[in-house]
Structure 1
């Protein structure tokens, strides 16, 4: 199992969600608001704040879905503009379903 973590432009969230839920067996996702900065910077002014708003998507997926989810995020969240975001794939060693007490490597 892997965690796929993506930081995308807020205006791309609806289109990205629609594309992801079309993937057979898609396990679901968590979305949260976040701010940060990378190489891109906002203009300097009196109230300088370098942070740019993004949407953070977290998906825990079985290994057989990781590539299609990753590829979908890379394609659909792309606008062609600087600052489109990032996608990471991270190993997830273990997970548990709180409601049932189930502990497993793949909780899909």
Structure 2
């Protein structure tokens, strides 16, 4: 199991979620508001206002779906402009469902 964490422009969220939910077996996601900045913003020497708004997506997915999900995010969050975002994939060692006490990969 992996965690896919993506930071994307707020205006791409609607179409991105639509594409993700069309993936067979898509396990769901959490979305939160966040702010930040990257190296490009500092190096470009823009009038520096430190934080740009982003949406943070967290998806816990079985290994066979990870590449499909990451590819979809990369394709549908892309605008070609600075600040499109980033995607990271992390190994998940264990998970649990609080309501039932169930633990392991089946909690997806």
TM-score when normalising by structure 1? 0.92
- The corresponding residue for 1:7 is 7
Alpha-carbon RMSD: 1.3
Higher helix share: 2
Q: Deviations over 1:37-94 (max 9, x none)?
A: 00233842xxx53111000000000001000000000000001111100000000000
Report the Cα distance in structure 2 between the residues aligned to 1:51 and 1:40, rounded to whole angstroms.
13
1:99 positional shift: 1.0
* Corresponding residue pairs, total: 105
- The corresponding residue for 2:31 is 31
- The corresponding residue for 1:82 is 82
Report the Cα distance in structure 2 between the residues aligned to 1:71 and 1:99, rounded to whole angstroms.
32
Which consecutive residues of structure 1, in runs of 5 or more, have no partner in the other structure?
none
1:106 positional shift: 4.1
Higher strand share: 1
Could you tell me whether the CA contact under 8 Å between 1:7 and 1:85 is conserved in 2? yes
Q: In the alignment, is residue 64 of structure 1 matched against residue 78 of structure 2?
A: no
Which consecutive residues of structure 2, in runs of 5 or more, have no partner in the other structure?
none
